[in-house]
Amino acid sequence: MTKILVVDDEPLIIESLVYSLEREGFQAKGIGDGSLVLETVQEYQPDLIVLDILLPGLNGIEVCKRLRAESTIPIIMLTARGDELDRVLGLEVGADDYLPKPFSFRELLARIRALLRRVEMDRYYPPVTEIAIGDLHLDLSAHRLLKKGQEIELSVREYDLLSFLMRNAGRAMSRQTILSQVWGEEWIGDERTLDVHIRWIRLKIEDDPASPVYIQTVRGYGYRFIGAEEVE
């Protein structure tokens, strides 16, 4: 059974999340002190951590930093709504995703399942550490994208989307498959968010975003990343 550790300084949030997660078939445990996280992780061996930033003992940023020094456990960081600095810091020290408070349990559940699916996907694919197609070089171990040797900044979601498409280079992927693999099966937002993210990525990687070479639209179906053998 998949185990989730909830770390928050509000007992009611811990109680509510643990109860709701267990109803969804997870095994869940909650703690309210940042200084107890490392010890609890060693004992409980969670598959994913939901981590609040504002904690007694050690704050969530420091906890995340220490966890990343010895573990690759997926981490969803809870931040105050509108606090961009906390979100940026969380991602910089190794959080995999963030969710601003207040949030719905349904949205958190979708994020959890998406992260767990990504971990499973990484296990399924052969241990590839680099993908090079044309002028693009994706370093999967460092989560970096280079174009002609110059690093291109990507958001977490842009990286996940591009990584999924490049891993499946040469194959047409349906919109439903992309959304379930990158956003998670429980995601319930507008499908057009996929088109928006594709447009943002094209602006960053294509020489002419209006005539894309790397990410091709498969009308009525989805998208396709060009195969390495097709690059002129």
Worst-scoring range by mean pLDDT, 7-11, 125-129, 133-137, 147-151?
Answer: 125-129
Instruction: State if pTM tops 0.75.
Output: no
Mean pLDDT, residues 26-34: 95
Mean pLDDT, residues 140-169: 91
3-123 homologous superfamily: Response regulator (3.40.50.2300)
Model confidence pLDDT, tens digit, residues 79-106: 875 566 666 777 777 888 888 888 899 9
CATH number belonging to the domain at 127-230, selected among 3.40.50.2300, 1.10.10.10, 3.30.70.1350, 1.20.120.140: 1.10.10.10
- Enter the tokens of residue 154: 């990507």
Distance CA 120, CA 164 (A): 13
Distance CA 127, CA 142 (A): 14
Top pLDDT among 83 and 112 is at 112
pLDDT band with cut points at 50, 70 and 90 for residue 31 = very high
Nearest alpha-carbon partner for 47 in 112, 94, 101, 95: 112
| Parts of the chain belonging to CATH 3.40.50.2300 | 3-123
| Parts of the chain belonging to CATH 1.10.10.10 | 127-230
